[in-house]
Amino acid sequence: MKHTLRQVFHSGKFVAGFCILVALLLLIAIYPLFVKGDPLAIIGQGTFFPPGTYVNTYDSIYAPNTYTLNLKDAAANRIAQRLPEKDREEMKTWLVAYGIPEEQIDVNDIKALLDIWFENYDPNESLGMIYAKQRYYQRLNDSIRNLLSIEGVILAEKNPETGELQEVGIVNQTDYVNINEVANVRVLPLGTDNFGRDVLTELVRATAVSLEIGLVAGVIATLIGLTLGLLAGYIGGWVDDFIMFITNLFTVIPSFVLLILISFSIGQEKRGAVTIAIVIGLTSWVWTTRAVRSQVMSLRNRDHVNLSKLSGHSIFYIITHDIFPYIASYVVMALILQISSAILAEASLSILGLGPRTTDVPTLGLMMNWAMIYQAHIMGRWWAYLPVIIMIALITFSMNLMNTGLDQVFNPTLRE
Amino acid sequence: MSKVLLEVNELSTKYVTRFHEDVYAVDRVSLKVEEGKSLGIAGESGCGKSTLALSMMGYYFPPLHYISGDIYLDGNNITKMDPDVIRRKILGTEISYIPQAAMNALNPTQKILSFIQDVIWAHNPKATKEEIFNLAKERFTLLGLPESVLYKYPVELSGGMKQRTVIAVSVILGPKVLIADEPSSALDVTSQKMVIKMLVDLMESGFIKGMVFITHELPLLYNVTDDIMVMYAGQIVEKGTADEVVLDPLHPYSRGLMGSLIVPEEGMREQKLVAIPGAPPNLKDPPSGCRFAARCKYVIPQCTKMHTIEMQELGNGREYRCIFSEEELRKAYQNG
Amino acid sequence: MDNGSGSCLKCIDLTKIYGMGRTKTLAVDHVSLEIHNKEIVSIVGESGSGKTTLAKLLLGLTEPTEGEIYFLGKKRDISTHKKRLEYWKNIQAIFQDPYSSYNIFRKIDDVLLDCINMRDGKNISREEKVHMMSEACRFVNMKFEELTNKYPFELSGGQMQRLMIARVFLLKPKILIADEPTSMIDACSRATILDMLLKLNAEEGTTLIFITHDIGLAYYLSQTVYIMKKGRIVESGTAEEVILHPKEAYTKRLISDVPKIREEWDLSTVVYSTE
């Protein structure tokens, strides 16, 4: 046993897969210690906030200290953000269409460009453009007013007695606050989803739930498969015929179709994560049965089994001592594959809207489902679905890698 | 003395196991195959006889590694040749090799004729299909194989037929020397006898000029080959003509081996079988001195004190590897 | 035969058919034989002659399609586990391949303890069991102290077969069926194993049934020889009769095809088969 374990951990592929899986498990275990609270809490008002650090504006203004930093490129950065190159090119297009010679316009000299613009732009001039385009230029024109201004923003407060606005302070363009002194800052490394929930927190929870579903489904499938396979393979005769009849029935009906039908008939309200796991487990034992049966059938006629019979052992003893240990490594490999395929099955079911009910827990499949319904993929909100895809890929990849590694250890013909 | 076809001089090779351990399976082996003669190599499992068969062709690829020694084929030293050149110019055309269980190596999805085409095209890409067919048909008829075999898949042939087909194909390019490693051990006695007759026919009709026959079955060697070498733990322990080695073995190991033979002959029941206690040494770390010392009845302290025991020559190619003289050994055997 | 004891194992018209329809094969075809107490019998056949199936039928590891087996004059009944256990106390086997005969997960001690438990029940003290196991190992020239806590695969092929004989020594069955016990073992170790089997017959009075393809071995060991061909017994008689003076053409051919040393082995009579 010790020797086998050492051999297993000498296999590079197994170790690589094992490390990925352990890293994921550590993430699941440690992350909630740092980010507390309900993973499904809706924190954002609106959909799909992009990833980044969110700083409270109100707290920034009332930060205890305001620092003045005279940074040379501050103005340039500000203009670049408010007037990106794309807009400047559009301005040039309008001006050229208006009749300004192209050579006179330099999109990189913002001051000169703005001068020409303010001199020539007429919001009522259509220049044969479609209405939407005209509106775009009108909006652009509004937004670039005051672009070159160096004045600050005046903060005013309403006087509770007179109702007049009174100036209480000014925020200059050179004012800075230290982010550590701002009371409320929230990092959303993967933004928010369509409901305004933190995607990362949700993803970690979803990974945990998906692994649980995979484990429960995999164990159920492997147990059923192992028991039926052992019985069919060892006892043979009518027991074998009967079990193979059922197995063949399940083989002929595609298990995914069965899965869809069962999930659908359970109904949205009753579908929890465990229910889905059990349903997946009950529909995916077929190939484990077949594989175990064929292994057992070749073992059944081996001399060590005959010797065990001649030593007076019972059928139960022979199955547990002379057959099972020989296929144990095989069963472990089958279990790993079952877990990874159960995770995929859950994802496939959920993306069709047949997964666990949506208010309870997130799963990887449900996250994909939500992202798809809110068209994250069309709108380019990659943070809502790409991390989920990567997570599913990592889990199945690590498990398949472990499986290949085990295969190399236990199957002598694959050894180098 | 007739022409020497294959001469192996002090050849040592090793192979590397899966666990990266070196096994010194062939240790300073010398042998000669003369024109028109066949040489038998006898030994138990694990004595290095199959490794020797592979090493004799000079074609080394992992896990087999060359250590030292020379191989002369028709007077040319082939030890230093590039493996690729050996594969193209020597294997099949100069030396042919029939590995153990060769019949199971036939491609099950390929008809025999197509297999022959592949073999010939590998050496002569210009041969036409018709030429190949005519050659194959002629050879098969000469060797007592029905022409219909050419159109069959390996699964349609019996074990004996498959093995005879493999032998016929392996000599189709006209090699001078044939190395056969246990060509008949997986077959039942009747097929075995046909395979043996075929090999003897090949020699007699001059298709091959010399043969090395490797097996653990001594009665078979005795009936097939002119000379016999006995191998033990990577070394040759005795050399001589078949009659000398089988009927009058000198080395204590050969003597033990001959004493454990069982043949269905009158008087067999009255004989007492000889058992050699113990097991052969591990070739990962061969013992110094006589490698048989640990199992030998006649062992004296000197046997293991010397670094190596050299072969003693008795003339006419008769040699044995023991520190005792011929007289001493004979005396010891007489006293039991 | 000549020691006056009666029939030990007898079978009448024993037949075993594998498969059905087009894949139907007649592995054993109406075999009748009678084996006497303390006799040494060989059943000789080429591969595919059904000799191993016959051994399994006699052992009760497979059910015959037809025919009856009589053990000690009574019809054999192995319908329940208890009856099978009783039968297997009297008939044991040694298989061809020592490397696949043992459960690789069980230690040598377990293999031997199984036999003691089967024979004498479990109410024996630990010391006595060790004593019995040491005794059995001594019978096969091995030391129990060196074997204890080891796994069978740590032994050589010859040692494994000897351990198998130690097992039989502990069980003391009336009959031992040895299915090619030496075919995977080097010639020099073969003699040791054969000697031990003969000792078992001489000292314990075990009836030996050898299943073999080696005619020389059958001649060397046995009193009675049966020649099997395609599931049928084609010739039987004492070893001298059958092997030195065969009557059937098949037996004659079989014996002439074995390479000899002191007699001539004629290759010129070989006719190439065309199938």
- Residue-wise pLDDT for B182-195, tens only, equals 988 878 888 899 99
The residue-averaged pLDDT of A225-235 equals 93
| Chain mean pLDDT for chain B | 89
Chain C residue whose CA is closest to B256? C188
Q: How far apart are CA A383 and CA A199, in angstroms?
A: 8
Residues A155 and A127 in one domain: no
* The pLDDT of residue B319: 92
Q: Do B273 and C219 touch (CB under 8 A)?
A: no
Residues A21-69 have pLDDT tens digits of 999 999 999 998 988 888 888 888 888 999 999 999 888 888 888 899 9
Confidence of residue A416 (pLDDT cuts 50, 70, 90): very low
Query: Bridge partners of C9?
Result: C35, C71
Confidence of residue A385 (pLDDT cuts 50, 70, 90): very high
Total of domains in chain A: 3
Q: Which of C88, C95, C117 has its CB closest to that of A303? A: C95
Residues A388 and A324 in one domain: yes
* The pLDDT of residue B96: 92
- Per-residue tokens: B263: 């043949």
Q: Is the dihedral of CA A42, A44, A47, A52 positive or negative?
A: negative
Q: How far apart are CA C95 and CA B13, in angstroms?
A: 36
How far is CA A238 from each of CA A235, A244, A285, rounded to the nearest angstrom?
9, 10, 20
B-C contacts at Cβ under 8 angstroms: 123
Is residue B127 left, alpha or beta, with left meaning phi > 0 and alpha meaning psi from -120 to 50?
A: beta
Residues A263 and A339 in one domain: yes
A269 or A302, greater pLDDT: A302
Counting other chains too, the contacts that B80-84 makes at CB distance below 8 Å and 24 or more residues apart are B83/B59
Under 8 Å between Cβ of B119 and B172: yes
Please determine, for residue B264, whether its predicted confidence score (pLDDT) is greater than 90. Answer: no
Burial class of residue C110, CB neighbours in 10 A (0-12, 13-18, 19+): middle
Residues A158 and A207 in one domain: no
Name every residue whose Cβ is closer than 8 Å to that of residue A75 and which is 6 or more positions away in sequence.
Answer: A150, A173
The residue-averaged pLDDT of B192-204 equals 91
Q: Is the dihedral of CA A74, A75, A76, A80 positive or negative?
A: positive
Under 8 Å between Cβ of B189 and C218: no
Under 8 Å between Cβ of B173 and B135: no
Residues A124 and A57 in one domain: no
Query: Bridge partners of A154?
Result: A170
Residues A158 and A138 in one domain: no
* The pLDDT of residue B159: 87
Q: Write out chain C residues lying below 8 Å of B145, CB-based.
A: 272
Domain boundary among A135, A170, A188: A188
Name every residue whose Cβ is closer than 8 Å to that of residue C139 and which is 6 or more positions away in sequence.
Answer: C165, C166, C169, C196, C199
The helix/strand/coil state of B81 is: coil
Which residue do the tokens 């059910």 mark?
C63
Indicate the pTM of the whole model: 0.81
Q: How far apart are CA B75 and CA B5, in angstroms?
A: 7
Cis peptide before B63 (omega within 30 of 0): yes
Residues A231 and A338 in one domain: yes
Antiparallel, parallel or unpaired: β B235-241 and B210-215: unpaired
Largest Cα span, chain B = 68
Using a CB–CB cutoff of 8 Å, tell me whether C93 touches chain A. Answer: yes
The helix/strand/coil state of B148 is: helix
Which residue do the tokens 């043992």 mark?
C102
* The pLDDT of residue A1: 61
Which domain, by its residues, includes A172?
53-68+151-188
Q: Which chains touch B (3 or more CB pairs under 8 A)?
A: C
Name every residue whose Cβ is closer than 8 Å to that of residue A28 and which is 6 or more positions away in sequence.
Answer: A204, A207, A208, A211
Helix axes B189-204, B159-170, angle to 10 degrees: 20
Q: How far apart are CA A89 and CA A97, in angstroms?
A: 12
Cα distance from B126 to chain C (closest Cα, Å)?
32
Residues B51-100 have pLDDT tens digits of 999 899 888 888 889 999 999 988 888 888 888 888 888 888 899 999 88
Closest CA to B106 of B60, B186, B67, B163: B163
- Per-residue tokens: A63: 């930060």
Q: Which of B144, B246, B275 has its CB closest to that of C191? A: B275
CB-CB neighbours of A57 under 10 Å: 9
Name every residue whose Cβ is closer than 8 Å to that of residue B23 and which is 6 or more positions away in sequence.
Answer: B14, B15, B16, B17, B283, B284
* The pLDDT of residue C3: 45
* The pLDDT of residue A413: 60
Under 8 Å between Cβ of A74 and A172: no
Name every residue whose Cβ is closer than 8 Å to that of residue B222 and which is 6 or more positions away in sequence.
Answer: B228, B242, B246, C259, C261
Cα distance from C252 to chain A (closest Cα, Å)?
33
Residues A273 and A369 in one domain: yes
CA atoms within 13 A on the CB side of A28: 17
* The pLDDT of residue A170: 86
Q: Which chains touch A (3 or more CB pairs under 8 A)?
A: C
Using a CB–CB cutoff of 8 Å, tell me whether A325 touches chain C. Answer: yes
Q: Going edge to edge, which strands form the sheet with C207-212?
A: C91-94, C175-179, C207-212, C40-45, C224-229, C232-238
**C76, amino acid identity:** R
- Per-residue tokens: A157: 């407060």
Q: Write out chain B residues lying below 8 Å of C51, CB-based.
A: none
* The pLDDT of residue B305: 87
Name every residue whose Cβ is closer than 8 Å to that of residue A78 and which is 6 or more positions away in sequence.
Answer: A173
CA atoms within 13 A on the CB side of A91: 28
Residues A155 and A115 in one domain: no
Q: Where are the alpha helices (DSSP H) in A83-198?
A: 85-98, 110-120, 131-143
Give ipTM to 2 decimals: 0.91
The helix/strand/coil state of C135 is: helix
Q: Write out chain C residues lying below 8 Å of A307, CB-based.
A: 93, 95, 101-103
Q: Using beta carbons and an 8 Å cutoff, which residues of C are at the interface with B?
A: 46-47, 156, 158, 186-192, 194-195, 213-220, 239, 243-244, 253-255, 257-263, 265, 267, 270, 272-275
Residues A180 and A114 in one domain: no
- Per-residue tokens: A243: 């079990």
pLDDT in tens, chain C (275 residues): 444 457 889 999 999 998 877 888 899 999 999 999 999 999 999 988 999 999 999 999 998 999 999 998 889 988 898 999 999 999 999 999 998 899 888 889 999 999 998 887 778 888 999 999 999 999 998 899 888 888 888 888 888 999 999 999 999 999 999 999 988 888 888 888 999 999 999 999 999 999 999 999 999 999 999 999 999 999 999 999 999 999 999 999 999 889 888 888 888 888 887 76
* The pLDDT of residue A31: 92
The residue-averaged pLDDT of A287-304 equals 92
Residues in chain C, how many?
A: 275
* The pLDDT of residue B1: 58
| Residues C46, C52, C58, C63, Cα dihedral to 10° | -120
* The pLDDT of residue A415: 52
Helix axes A303-310, C51-59, angle to 10 degrees: 30
Q: Where are the alpha helices (DSSP H) in B182-325?
A: 189-204, 218-224, 242-247, 252-259, 302-305
Which residue do the tokens 């296999």 mark?
A11
Cα distance from C118 to chain B (closest Cα, Å)?
32
* The pLDDT of residue C2: 42
Q: How far apart are CA C43 and CA A84, in angstroms?
A: 97
Residues 326-345 of A with CB under 8 A from C: 326
Residues B19-48 have pLDDT tens digits of 788 999 999 999 999 999 999 999 888 888
Residues A216 and A245 in one domain: yes
Residues A305 and A166 in one domain: no
Q: Write out chain C residues lying below 8 Å of A312, CB-based.
A: 84-85, 88-89, 114, 117-118
